[in-house]
Amino acid sequence: MAHIYIYSPSGAVRDRAAFRRGVKRLESLGHEVEVDPSALDSWQRFAGDDATRLAAIGRAAASGADVALTSRGGFGLTRLLPDLPYRQIAKSIDKGTEFVGFSDFTAFQLALLAKTGKISWSGPALCEGFGPLGSSDDASLKGKAEASGAGQDGPDEIMLACFDDLIHGVGEGTGWRLPADSAKLGLEGLQARHAPLWGGNLAVLVSLLGTPYFPQIKKGVLFLEDVGEHPYRIERMLSQLLLSGVLAQQQAIVLGQFTDYSLSSHDKGYSLAKVVEWLRGKLKIPVLTGLPFGHVPTKVLLPVGLHVELLVENREALLLWGHIHKH
């Protein structure tokens, strides 16, 4: 079906069993999977030193694959930004390669958008997206995860369907049900049109502010997610976007999933919901929540840089980008 190139631009792959399961699963879906020679390299916490990872990105761009999929996130792209082969990546996108990833990959996506205007996809990475152990996996796919009893449900069905849409070039948008607390916000009938969709991991996105790798997007729809960040840190990051004027320049903010943090006894009622409430009080534009995107299995694929429509009808939010013609 599709030629999928797996490479590692960020953190070293430690869970090799998940990596192998991910590759086999893509193959069992009928895809031709090509694994970059340094995909499993390890140097400090990175998947190879900076030159190694830059070369891997270059090979992904030169692969002629339909999809260039990161093995995982982690950390490592920020330090590569000045040296990314932007022109080569842009050319490969023009020829039909879709770059897919998330988390640390946000740095790649936003820098690419800032430097070339090219579209990439926020979506799964190989290990976390396609690597989860499934109950029907045969013995060859089972690794350490089995012993720990982790993830017996395999890859998420919604993510798989969105990925399939991307492969076939038939995705026309995505939708989700807004949380109950959205009812009183007067979002019904909301229409944002011709809005560049952009965003990704909040911490990574904010870490580009003030640098040449932060895209200057006006009247966009900005989506954000994060993992392992206490709400006060989320507030501090949102503050930076607020005080820099970035948020007010958008048509809407869409919050995805913020997961894996712990409140403490010191918080005394302070919470992520309070942060969202605070943010809404500071902005005239709508702040939607509940987008199925983040460090969670159920994750839609989102085209960073593409113009979209955002509509709210009967508590359903719709993000529409129409048919994307394949090359």
Q: Residues 128, 225, 229, 235: which is the catalytic one?
A: 225
Q: Are 131 and 18 in contact (CB under 8 A)?
A: yes
Window 207 to 226, contacts with a second copy (CB under 8 A): 207-214
Clarify whether 325 is annotated catalytic.
Answer: no
Question: Would you state the structure tokens that stand for residue 260, as one six-digit string?
Answer: 């894996």
- Which of 64, 82 has the CB closer to a second copy? 82
Among 116, 239, 249, 298, binds a second copy (CB under 8 A): 239
Please select the residue that binds a second copy; options are 3, 278, 307, 315, rule is CB under 8 A. Answer: 278
Tokens standing for 218?
A: 């006006």
Closer residue to a second copy (CB): 140 or 216: 216
Residue given tokens 């206490």 in the structure block:
230
Measured CA distances, 302 to 164, 206, 275, 293 (Å): 13, 19, 25, 9
Q: Is residue 261 at the binding interface for a second copy, with CB under 8 A as the rule? A: no
Please pick, among 10, 38, 103, 207, the residue that the annotation labels catalytic: 103
Q: Whose CA is closest to 132, among 107, 162, 159?
A: 159
Under rule CB under 8 A, residue 276 binds a second copy? no
Contact criterion met (CB below 8 Å) for 130 and 162 = no
Determine, following the binding rule CB under 8 A, whether residue 16 of this chain makes contact with a second copy: no
- Is there binding between residue 1 and a second copy (CB under 8 A)? no
**Which string of b and e fits 300-318 if b means at least 16 CB within 10 Å?**
bbbbbbbbbbbbbeeeebb
295 given a catalytic annotation: yes
Alpha-carbon gap, residue 89 to 116, rounded angstroms: 9
Which entry of 31, 63, 182, 295 is annotated as an active-site residue?
A: 295
Which residue ranges make up the site for a second copy (CB under 8 A)? 11-12, 14, 42-46, 75, 78-79, 81-82, 203-204, 206-214, 232, 235-237, 239-240, 243-244, 246, 266-270, 274, 278
